[in-house]
Structures are given as C-alpha cells and as structure tokens.
Copies of this chain bind each other. A is one copy, B any other.
Amino acid sequence: MAPLRLGMVGGGPGAFIGPVHRMAAAMDGHFQLVAGAFASDPERSIAAGRALGLQAARCYPDYAAMAAAESARPDGIEAVSIVTTNRTHHDIAMTFLNAGIDVICEKPVTATLAEAVSLREAVARSGCVFVVTHNYAGYPMVREARARVAANTLGRLRMVQVEYPQGWLSDRIELRGGNKQASWRTDPAEAGAGGALGDIGTHAFHLACFVTGQTPQAVLADLAALAQGRVLDDNASVLLRYPNGARGAIWASQIAIGCANGLRLRVFGEYGALDWSQESPNELWVDQRDAPRQRIVPGGPGVGAEAARVTRLPAGHPEGFLEAFAAIYTDAAQLIRARRTGAAAAGAMPPSVQDGLLAMAFVDACVRSSHAGNVWVTLAE
C-alpha cells in the first residue's frame, strides 16, 4: 500500500514537536512527507523544506500558498500536519479543510474554545478527517486500560486521579531567551489562556476521558503562577465531578522540580482499579478487589486486541513516546484511507476534533473557575 502524501505546517529549526510528527508519521510507513511550510519567515520556511530533502517546488513560503498549490496538483498532499503554536491552529486548519485536505493537528486544538467550536463546524461541513494529537492515547497500555474500563472490569466509576508534573519551567527560563519552547508557552498571546493547563493539563484531561469513556461535567480549578512574575499558570489543581457522581482530580505542573514528563492516570471503580504512568509506559497495574495486583505488559499474557493492534514488538522490548505517537498517525491513516476508499478502519480511535474541543472546554472552564475564586463551573459543549 503506497504511503499517503503528507504536508506539514510548522516544525522548522528549533522546533520540538515538528520532528516528532515527522518520525511518527514515517514509523509505520503510512505517510510520506512531500511538502511543507515550516516557518513563518518565507525564506526560512523554504530552506527548512530543502534541508529535509523535499523537492524545491513543494517547499512553500507559507501555508496558504501550500494549500492552494497542493490542492491543485494531481499528486497533491492527502493530509497536512499542523505543528505551529496554538493561536495559529484555527486559521491554518480552516484553510486546509476548505481545500478538502485531511488534517492532523497538534494539541491543544485551538487557542480558545470559540475557535474549537468554529473548527468543529468546519470539519463537519467539509467531511474531512480531523485528528488531534493527544498522543498519549497511542500507548498500548492506555488502549488496554480503555478496553478494560469499556468491558466493565472496574464496575461503576468512582474516582479518577490524574497528575502531570514537569519541572522544566521551575525557573523563568523564558526570560533568558534562546528557549523557543519556553517562550511561547508562557506567553498568553501565543499559548492562549492556559499555561501548564493548556500545554499538559489538556493531555491529562484527554487521557482521563479516553480511558474512562466519560467526560466530567464540572470542574473547580486553582490555577497559579508559582514562579514569581509569570503571567500564565505553571501549576494547576483541578477537581472534577462526573455525571454519575464520581470524583476526579487533575494536577498539572511545570514547576515540579525533578519531574520530567510524569503523566500518570489512576482509575478507581466499584470493584477494580487501573494505574498507568507515561514514564514506564510498558506496564499497566491492574487491581481487582480481593485479588493480587497484576502487571500487564504489551505482548504479555492477558492483553487484549486493542493494545495488540498498536504493539510492534514482543514483550520486554520497550516501545516509547514515538511509537505511541505513531499509533495516532496509523489511526489517522486508516480513517483517511477509509474516507477515500471506503476501506474499514476497525480499531482506529484517534482523538477527534470533538475530543480536542472538549479539552478546550476544560481549559475554558478551569480559567473561569479560577478567576471566579475557585468555584464549580460546568463544561460548555
């Protein structure tokens, strides 16, 4: 099966997530990068494309030029990856959707909830595939966790505990210059209303929704900028309430010294529980009331089809962040091919524009809650 032709917007020199998308897109052979507009500066944009080995004609000065030219080519791109800063996602995505090109978009899906609503409408109108890279949903053991919840092995949901501590913004490195990642993430004009909340809190929220299959109805958030002088939150403590009365909590922090990328999810039900940590992604701890704790691993005994579908190697051969990210791309490829050929896309479950929108509704509700003095706010949408 020939790979899908992929374009990219953003991801030029100094980017972190652009190269990740390129490696993830390539890993399972479903995509080939053939075009791109990699930087806001036209010259740097084209130079970056050439450095990646693309044909000169398909290295574009900007995304609008790329959308126009590629949609006119018979061999134009079939999908585009958008890996720019949050505030630009909406307009770029609209442009490609209008050109009928399927979209894979970095999270958070937009900078505001209103933009996400607008995007959702555009996706529906266009009939295009739209995938948001809430990439942690691509880990085999996350898929396993979801399958176990869906099979009711935990019973009625009672408590969801999510944490996502990082430490890299414990110092105000954004003031020292030279760190592009730190600069835009701490700048409301680029990042939107959420700091740590938007950057990693959205991942935590999505992971909880993905695994439990349930969306909290209300949040109570305490957002704080604990590094002196920072504008956006670098620490967010959020209480959750679910429609069935279950409780939850999300802690997302970027001032947690010693923590690198410590996303962890624990789900407690009436008679079972699950525990998964991103930094040890190849194990899922499973508890049933009155039974010994079990360690479930990819390729090992007791693992179901959902995990096996995104597992490449036998047990004991660690797969990591890129592999999980690639699973989202593989899911996306299945949906894209299904749209074009009517092929089945069984098992594909990449985060959708609605998932991205819910994460923005979460950010929006948390910001409102925190500004109002830490009160309960119902999630819009």
Q: Which residues of A contact B (CB under 8 A)?
A: 1-3, 16, 19-20, 23, 26-29, 53, 158-159, 161, 163, 165-168, 170-171, 220, 222, 224, 226, 235, 237, 239, 245-247, 249, 251, 253, 255-262, 266, 268-273, 275, 278-282, 285-297, 299-302, 312-323, 373-376
CB distance from A242 to the nearest CB of B (A): 11
- State which of B167, B245, B293, B314 has its C-beta within 8 Å of the C-beta of A295: B293
13 A-B pairs with C-beta separation under 8 A: A23-B28, A158-B255, A159-B226, A167-B289, A168-B314, A256-B268, A257-B269, A257-B289, A260-B317, A261-B316, A280-B280, A291-B302, A374-B376
A253 in contact with B291 given A247-B226, A247-B237, A319-B321 (CB within 8 Å): no
A275: chain B residues within 8 A (beta carbon): 258
A261: chain B residues within 8 A (beta carbon): 314-317
Q: Which 9 A-B pairs have the closest CB atoms?
A: A260-B316, A258-B287, A261-B316, A318-B320, A320-B320, A260-B315, A257-B273, A317-B321, A292-B294
- Could you tell me if A321 and B321 are in contact, using CB atoms closer than 8 angstroms? no
CB distance from A19 to the nearest CB of B (A): 7
- Could you tell me if A255 and B159 are in contact, using CB atoms closer than 8 angstroms? yes
A375: chain B residues within 8 A (beta carbon): 374-375
A316: chain B residues within 8 A (beta carbon): 166, 259-262, 278-279
- Could you tell me if A286 and B292 are in contact, using CB atoms closer than 8 angstroms? yes
A253: chain B residues within 8 A (beta carbon): 159, 268
- Could you tell me if A292 and B281 are in contact, using CB atoms closer than 8 angstroms? no
- Could you tell me if B374 and A239 are in contact, using CB atoms closer than 8 angstroms? yes
Nearest B residue to A269, CB-CB = B257
Complex Cα distance, B256 from A222, in Å, reads 24
CB distance from A298 to the nearest CB of B (A): 10
- Could you tell me if A301 and B297 are in contact, using CB atoms closer than 8 angstroms? no
Complex Cα distance, B317 from A322, in Å, reads 8
- Could you tell me if A20 and B313 are in contact, using CB atoms closer than 8 angstroms? yes
Nearest B residue to A296, CB-CB = B292
Nearest B residue to A288, CB-CB = B257
A286: chain B residues within 8 A (beta carbon): 292
A255 in contact with B268 given A280-B280, A289-B171, A314-B16 (CB within 8 Å): yes
Nearest B residue to A284, CB-CB = B292
A323: chain B residues within 8 A (beta carbon): 320, 322
CB distance from A223 to the nearest CB of B (A): 10
- Could you tell me if A314 and B158 are in contact, using CB atoms closer than 8 angstroms? no
Complex Cα distance, B162 from A161, in Å, reads 13
CB distance from A374 to the nearest CB of B (A): 6
- Could you tell me if B301 and A292 are in contact, using CB atoms closer than 8 angstroms? yes
Given contacts A290-B301, A318-B318, 14 further A-B contacts (CB under 8 A): A23-B27, A159-B235, A170-B271, A220-B374, A257-B271, A257-B273, A257-B289, A259-B273, A260-B300, A260-B316, A261-B317, A279-B316, A293-B294, A322-B322
A280: chain B residues within 8 A (beta carbon): 280, 318
A373: chain B residues within 8 A (beta carbon): 376
- Could you tell me if B302 and A292 are in contact, using CB atoms closer than 8 angstroms? yes
Nearest B residue to A248, CB-CB = B237
Nearest B residue to A139, CB-CB = B318
Nearest B residue to A166, CB-CB = B316
CB distance from A127 to the nearest CB of B (A): 28
- State which of B28, B220, B257, B259 has its C-beta within 8 Å of the C-beta of A272: B257
A2 in contact with B53 given A27-B26, A289-B171 (CB within 8 Å): yes
Complex Cα distance, B370 from A376, in Å, reads 12
